[in-house]
Structure 1
Amino acid sequence: MFFSQQLCLLIGSSIGGAFTKTLFWALTALFLSSLIISVVFAIIPLCYNVLLLAVAMAVSGLAMGIIDTIANIQLVSIYKKDSAIFLQALHFFIGLGALVSPLIADPFISEHCLGSNSTENATEIIHHFRSSFRSPVILTENSPHSEPVEEKANVAYAFWIMALINLPVPIAVFVLMYQEKLLPFCPNSTPRLLDKDELAMETKAPEGTEISEPDDAGFHHGGHGNIFSCCMNGSLRGLPVTFFGIHILGGLVLFMTEGIMGVYAGFVYTYAVSAPMSLHAKMAAYLNCIFWAAVTAGRLVSIPLSYRFRSVHLLVMNLAGVIVTLLLLLILYTNRVFLFVGTTLLGLFISSVFPCLVAYTEDILEYRGCATTVLVTTAGMGEMTLQVLVGSLIQKKGTYSFLVCGLVIGCLGFVFFLSVILCNRIHRNLTGASKKAAMVEAPPAPASEKAAPEQKVAVIQTESNKCDSG
């Protein structure tokens, strides 16, 4: 079930960029995908068959992947140089959702759902979970030292509540489409939101400053598309090899860092309850919650930091912090207190790598490549693939290999990031030389074209004088 969701999440991330060609298609895809998630969550409790549940999870994963790619691409395309701040805010809410969702589900899951009676076999436990989706289940625990305990467990309520909580998202997207006059069957006389922003810019602009006219083509994100159309884009011909190297190396960085995040969240509990740490199960369960809380807090803190510091500086600090934290966890592998401290530090450092790297890579490529699509896709691949690899190593070599793998993956990610910086320097030298050559070879502009901007400014000033006199 979870593999089907992760696989379709990867597919959705790969094809999501295809819907960003125009603002209409981007918002339509966001609306339908967010609505599908609510519908799927509502029908999951009605899936009495494992195959049906796997299909439902796959559909939700596909919708989540499309949303992930479109949201990142739209923010980068709209805010460009300032996109790092907004990407941090976007990923803060992603972490907040991952933190809050289990807290919503917890009251509806009985402590005895896993079957405290030692005589229950695996088949009975699975049968209980399947039954708990259908209707309230009364669990009776018989013990020689206590009275029978009756508890109700209805996991279905948790899914229905999450479906209701998600409903404002498609509603908000629909309202945005209405405001942007993208609904032909709903005429709207109010100004578009982007028109209001441009009007505000004209009001604040100093006298004599030329204001570019609004153009619907601005919504067409030239290089952005799905991962396959990016490779076949004719505009990529003639670009230096460093252009493609930045895409590949940036993707490898996120392949490693998102893989670490998925591996740590997935196996820290197994590591904590096993020897030599041997934590109590209830205590070890807090580690996952602490990790996601730290990730959420780190992304919140990174919003003002992105305003004050460049993305490359934040990336160096975060990646170095990830390696140092994993190294200390490896050295102090028997220290229970530092396991909690290290989990917090790792969540703080690794939290903002994704948004910072997306902003940094798009800035290098001047927002004309397919960086966001490639990065989102490779991040999903890393999260899915490395969990399988590390899980198989833990089974063969023991839980200590969990931290060893994390440290090796972190070091590889840092090496790939240094390669991105080196590739960026080479790319700037190559593109700078080509721009100078193009300027030398370009013929001088005709006098009529030079005078055109002055005439445009004069027309704008004349129209403004008419409005004042009116």
Structure 2
Amino acid sequence: MWWDERLLGLFRTHLQPTLTYWSVFFSFGLCMAFLGPTLLDLRCQTHSSLQDITWVFFSQQFCLLLGSSLGGLFKRTVTQSLLILFLSSLVISVVFAIIPFCGHIGILALVMAIAGLAMGCIETVSNIQLVKTYQQDSAVFLQVLYFFLGVGALLSPLIADPFLSDTNCIQSNLTQNGSQDLEHIRNSLIPHHPGNLSGFELPLHGPAVTRISYAFWIIAVINLPVPIAVFLLLYKQGMVPGCAKQLGSLLSADELAMETQKKGEGSDHNEAEPHEEKGHGVPVICCQSKNFRGASFPFFAIHACAAVTLFMSDGIVGEYSGFVYSYAVEQPLSLAHKTAGYLPSLFWGFITLGRLISIPVSYKVTPRSMLLINLIGVEVTFLFLLLSQYSTPGLFVGTAFLGLFLSSVFPSMVAYTEDILNYKGCATTVLVTGAAMGEMILQILVGMVIQTQGSYSFLVCGVSLASLALTLYLALMVFDNIHSRAVEEPSCRTPPLGREADPYQR
């Protein structure tokens, strides 16, 4: 069986914190996917233009990038991490509750910026804590983490769909668009790239009639158990004011596990490294400047190659989901708006399915091998899409396979890179930030290329980005081998710590 007793024992030991991290990522997924389908109704609510409303996308994504970087500062102890997760998940519920009251585009952009900060902190802190908890066994649990992200990302658009306006939600004597035009606009709205929508004139003045508020309030209620779960974990640690520290807290369990591991390594090793991490309770020291002194070039190259690989792969996820609809309705396929509208949903559905499949697969296959298979699969799929550009079934099949191959790239890369660097946690912050930058920047760059070069460049950009990602990953594997030899050689020549070498011994 793929789930053995040792892994099950680890899961039981860390059951409550693991379930809490997974639930927080479900909250992250809810907040990540609702904005696109509801953007037209929010346009009516704020009486803003199509060009202006896309700035709400940008404010969320930019602050998600900022939050991903800041999240690395709050990982020194489990207590700090849980406090950040509690505040972030609570902020997401509050954001959903107050969005219906945002009547101005600036206020809405500010609220979504706050949500982006919370999402960034959740992404970084949850990844780091899972990696530090399970270390060499973290790959399986990271795959589950991102499966919960996919579930949340699929659920929020489904909740919003019954409340979306079928006709223009600003009542005016100006142009009244039918549902077909609104569906086309809804699928074409991309962050900072509203597409070729200048021919659609939507009224800006008049009473707004929309029911989207109910969707936001439903999602806020669904998300409410998440901050409650984090609060209960804080209570178990005795961090709630007026509550004494509980026996068997998460911190004590982690310290006990780490002490058991250290005993196996020998007492001399412990004495030589008095400042090493002790479970989650001691500050992470890998990001301090003194720890980079004397670091080899492969050490920095591993960080750079892994981050840029995720920059490309997450950028592909963002640009493909954003532009595949626009590509499908243009020449040469010229699909109907309703048919093309299924493509983004198909893409995200197979990403979630791929993450579910990756849970048992990651127990049998190493993250290094999974990454190689996935990135080769992404490259081959884009070449297939390029060769079958005149085939509608080929586009649907290629979209499904692309979602499958991209699904487990991020969690596998986190597990692989942290394994190379001995689970310090610092690499996760770099990887999360690189992925967030790719998702934001590549959408803008690819959108500019498509507008200037035409829809054909959509697949050419995909092939180019996939090739770069695969090349950088192959470079990462080379630097991994160099780094491993550099670490092993000194350990073979250095006498045991705590003992002085005998200068007369031959």
- What is residue 295 of structure 1 aligned with on the other side? 351
| Equivalence map 1:317-356=2 (5 Å) | 317-356=373-412
Are the counterparts in 2 of residues 223 and 233 from structure 1 also a CA contact under 8 Å? no
Aligned partner of 2:432: which letter? V
Cα pair distance change 1:233/1:216, threshold 3 Å: closer
- What is residue 426 of structure 1 aligned with on the other side? 482
Aligned partner of 1:93: which letter? F
Q: Distance in 2 between matches of 1:5 and 1:360?
A: 29
Are the counterparts in 2 of residues 224 and 373 from structure 1 also a CA contact under 8 Å? no
Q: Distance in 2 between matches of 1:95 and 1:359?
A: 19
Q: Distance in 1 between matches of 2:102 and 2:218?
A: 17
- What is residue 77 of structure 1 aligned with on the other side? 132
* 1:158 Cα deviation from its structure 2 partner: 1.0
Aligned counterpart in structure 2 of residue 162 of structure 1, from 193, 196, 219? 219
Q: Secondary structure at the match of 1:366?
A: coil
Aligned counterpart in structure 1 of residue 90 of structure 2, from 19, 32, 35? 35
Are the counterparts in 1 of residues 75 and 284 from structure 2 also a CA contact under 8 Å? no
Aligned partner of 1:90: which letter? L
Post-superposition Cα deviations, 1:217-271, rounded to whole Å, max 9, x if no partner, equal: 421465468xxxx3x5312211211111100000010000000000001001101
* 1:125 Cα deviation from its structure 2 partner: 4.3
Are the counterparts in 1 of residues 132 and 424 from structure 2 also a CA contact under 8 Å? no
Unaligned runs of 5+ in 1: 138-152, 446-470
Cα pair distance change 1:57/1:199, threshold 3 Å: closer
Aligned partner of 2:236: which letter? Q
| Equivalence map 1:94-173=2 (5 Å) | 94-113=149-168, 119-120=175-176, 124-127=202-205, 132=208, 137=209, 153-173=210-230
Cα pair distance change 1:178/1:442, threshold 3 Å: closer
1:251 matched to 2:341? The reply is: no
- What is residue 386 of structure 1 aligned with on the other side? 442
- What is residue 177 of structure 1 aligned with on the other side? 234
- What is residue 7 of structure 2 aligned with on the other side? none
Q: Distance in 2 between matches of 1:79 and 1:292?
A: 28
Q: Distance in 2 between matches of 1:104 and 1:254?
A: 30
Unaligned runs of 5+ in 2: 1-55, 178-199, 271-275, 502-506
- What is residue 243 of structure 2 aligned with on the other side? 186
| Equivalence map 1:54-65=2 (5 Å) | 54-65=109-120
Q: Distance in 2 between matches of 1:109 and 1:44?
A: 15
* 1:194 Cα deviation from its structure 2 partner: 5.8
1:377 matched to 2:433? The reply is: yes
1:270 matched to 2:326? The reply is: yes
Are the counterparts in 1 of residues 303 and 430 from structure 2 also a CA contact under 8 Å? yes
Q: Distance in 1 between matches of 2:327 and 2:499?
A: 67
Q: Distance in 2 between matches of 1:441 and 1:199?
A: 23
- What is residue 48 of structure 2 aligned with on the other side? none
Cα pair distance change 1:441/1:85, threshold 3 Å: closer
Post-superposition Cα deviations, 1:393-421, rounded to whole Å, max 9, x if no partner, equal: 11011111011001100000000000000
Q: Distance in 2 between matches of 1:118 and 1:425?
A: 66
Q: Distance in 1 between matches of 2:265 and 2:489?
A: 29
Which of the pair has more CA radius of gyration?
1
Q: Distance in 2 between matches of 1:369 and 1:175?
A: 25
Q: Distance in 2 between matches of 1:96 and 1:38?
A: 17
- What is residue 15 of structure 2 aligned with on the other side? none
**% of aligned pairs identical?**
51
* 1:197 Cα deviation from its structure 2 partner: 8.0
- More off after superposition, 103-112 vs 436-445: 436-445
Q: Distance in 1 between matches of 2:303 and 2:375?
A: 19
* 1:111 Cα deviation from its structure 2 partner: 2.0
Q: Distance in 2 between matches of 1:161 and 1:441?
A: 59
Aligned partner of 2:279: which letter? G
Q: Distance in 1 between matches of 2:335 and 2:201?
A: 28
Cα pair distance change 1:341/1:315, threshold 3 Å: same
Q: Distance in 2 between matches of 1:440 and 1:168?
A: 51
Post-superposition Cα deviations, 1:325-379, rounded to whole Å, max 9, x if no partner, equal: 1100011001001111111100000000000000000000111261100000000
**Number of residue equivalences:** 415
Post-superposition Cα deviations, 1:291-331, rounded to whole Å, max 9, x if no partner, equal: 11100000011010111111111111110110111100011
Aligned counterpart in structure 1 of residue 423 of structure 2, from 350, 356, 367? 367
- What is residue 88 of structure 1 aligned with on the other side? 143
Q: TM-score, normalised by structure 1?
A: 0.82
Cα pair distance change 1:67/1:201, threshold 3 Å: closer
Post-superposition Cα deviations, 1:153-212, rounded to whole Å, max 9, x if no partner, equal: 40111111111111111100000111122224223655324656888999xx9xx98999
Q: Distance in 1 between matches of 2:361 and 2:316?
A: 23
Q: Distance in 1 between matches of 2:379 and 2:355?
A: 19
* 1:112 Cα deviation from its structure 2 partner: 1.9
- What is residue 468 of structure 1 aligned with on the other side? none
Q: Distance in 2 between matches of 1:444 and 1:211?
A: 16
* 1:120 Cα deviation from its structure 2 partner: 3.2
- What is residue 279 of structure 2 aligned with on the other side? 218
Q: Distance in 2 between matches of 1:436 and 1:368?
A: 23
Are the counterparts in 2 of residues 295 and 350 from structure 1 also a CA contact under 8 Å? yes
Are the counterparts in 2 of residues 5 and 57 from structure 1 also a CA contact under 8 Å? yes
Are the counterparts in 1 of residues 144 and 355 from structure 2 also a CA contact under 8 Å? yes
Q: Distance in 1 between matches of 2:75 and 2:113?
A: 22
Are the counterparts in 1 of residues 77 and 281 from structure 2 also a CA contact under 8 Å? yes
Are the counterparts in 2 of residues 253 and 414 from structure 1 also a CA contact under 8 Å? yes
Aligned counterpart in structure 2 of residue 20 of structure 1, from 75, 95, 100? 75
Q: Distance in 2 between matches of 1:303 and 1:211?
A: 34
| Equivalence map 1:393-432=2 (5 Å) | 393-432=449-488
Are the counterparts in 2 of residues 20 and 224 from structure 1 also a CA contact under 8 Å? no
Aligned-residue RMSD, C-alpha: 2.9
